[in-house]
Amino acid sequence: MLEGISLSVLIMGTLFLLTVIIVASVGNWLFSGNATFDRRLREIQGLAPGDKRKDQPTEEGAFTVKWLQPMARLVVPDDKWKQSRIRARLVRAGYRSPQAMSIYYTAKFFLAVLLPVLSISPLLMYPTLVTQRHWAVVALVVSALIGFFIPNLVLRHKEEARRQHLAEVFPDVLDLLVVCVEAGLSLDAAIKRVGDEFHFASRDMSDELLLVTLEIRAGKPRNEALKSLAERTDLEEMQALVSILIQAEHFGTSIADALREHADEMRDIRIQTAREKAAKLPVKMAIPILLFIFPALFLVILGPAAIHIYTGFIDRM
């Protein structure tokens, strides 16, 4: 009886893993909208479907070449729009490595397969834990979904944490940028100086500003470099700053005056945000006070009186 149950659980687990792999492969093939277009481009260039150009340098390590890249070809979607969307999220989270997207999709695939295997292992060792088969199927499906969405949750957490950190240091960056521009530095030199000054205070903001400087030195127009900065940081404050700088350069107005006005406005917004958070604090503290402080306060105040009343009734009886 136990051997029959363990064999059936093993068969269901194997069929489930095969179903996940087949569904993922078919879905990747069906929803890859640019696969035909990329294939035609490669045929025009005289390249095989999996080849690269002869002059393209490869600086990846042995693990990347032997294991990561072959696995990434199976799990990374062929749709360039999906790749660009995930690439943008990875950049906003601080992952700029060329293998970041391959690692992301490979982690999703391995976790979607590994967690069901780990969840079914106790059932194979102790078949008496599950008396009905549908609970084993539910455990497999839930563990596969959890493993598939864990990288999404981690990426979202990293993205939100980095955005919050950049938002906290942005007012200081803007004030220092105003000081540098008013001191006589050009906008490019001011951005580089602020990036150097924030190397120890905020490494992420320093990297973003220095990357703008490198792009401008490489020949990229300043407007496009600033727009790329706003897209990488994904901050409304940075987008407003970039819009002001582009408009000031386009209309020929003073960049120092525009930055000073924007810094004053951002300071007012920061004060209003702090006041708003302070006004919300009593409402947020109401539930913890009712659940934790009031019971302890009542116990301290009414506890001795309740004991005294109880002993009085006992003495009279």
**When comparing pLDDT for 57 and 194, which is higher?**
194
Give the pLDDT of residue 270: 82
pLDDT, tens digit (0-9, with 9 covering 90-100), for 53-105: 444 444 445 545 445 555 555 555 555 555 678 888 888 888 888 778 888 88
**Rounded CA separation 94/166 (Å):** 11
Give the pLDDT of residue 299: 85
Give the pLDDT of residue 209: 92
pLDDT band of residue 1 (cuts 50, 70, 90) is very low
pLDDT band of residue 194 (cuts 50, 70, 90) is very high
Burial label for 181, CB within 10 Å (0-12, 13-18, 19+), is buried
- Smallest Cα–Cα separation from 50: which of 35, 32, 31, 33? 35
Give the pLDDT of residue 53: 45
Tokens at 212, concatenated: 């703008």
Count of CB atoms situated within 10 Å of the CB of 82: 17
pLDDT band of residue 160 (cuts 50, 70, 90) is very high
Tokens at 261, concatenated: 């006005």
Asked which of 16-30, 228-242, 290-304 is least confident by mean pLDDT, the reply is 16-30
pLDDT, tens digit (0-9, with 9 covering 90-100), for 133-143: 667 777 788 88
Tokens at 142, concatenated: 């839930």
**Rounded CA separation 138/171 (Å):** 50
Asked which of 38-47, 175-184, 235-244 is least confident by mean pLDDT, the reply is 38-47
pLDDT, tens digit (0-9, with 9 covering 90-100), for 112-133: 888 888 877 777 676 665 566 6
Give the pLDDT of residue 311: 83
Give the pLDDT of residue 154: 92
Mean pLDDT of 197-215: 90
pLDDT band of residue 147 (cuts 50, 70, 90) is confident
pLDDT band of residue 12 (cuts 50, 70, 90) is low
**When comparing pLDDT for 199 and 56, which is higher?**
199
Give the pLDDT of residue 74: 52
Mean pLDDT of 157-179: 90
Angle CA 236–238–241, to nearest 5: 110
**When comparing pLDDT for 256 and 14, which is higher?**
256
Which CATH number is associated with domain 164-270? 1.20.81
Give the pLDDT of residue 54: 42
Q: Residue ranges of the domains in the chain? A: 2-158, 164-270
Q: How many residues in total does the chain contain?
A: 317
Amino acid letter for position 17 = L
DSSP string, the chain: -HHHHHHHHHHHHHHHHHHHHHHHHHHHHHS-TTHHHHHHHHHHHT--TT---TT------HHIIIIIHHHHHHHS-S-HHHHHHHHHHHHHTT---TTHHHHHHHHHHHHHHHHHHHHHHHHHH-GGG-SSHHHHHHHHHHHHHHHHHHHHHHHHHHHHHHHHHHHHHHHHHHHHHHHHHHTT--HHHHHHHHHHHTTTT-HHHHHHHHHHHHHHHTT--HHHHHHHHHHHHT-HHHHHHHHHHHHHHHHT--HHHHHHHHHHHHHHHHHHHHHHHHHHHHHHHHHHIIIIIHHHHHHHHHHHHHHHHHHHHHHH-
Amino acid letter for position 88 = A
Contact present, 273 and 264 (Cβ < 8 Å): no
Q: Is the pTM of this model over 0.75?
A: no
Mean pLDDT of 218-224: 89
Give the pLDDT of residue 49: 45
Contact present, 117 and 13 (Cβ < 8 Å): yes
Contact present, 79 and 31 (Cβ < 8 Å): yes
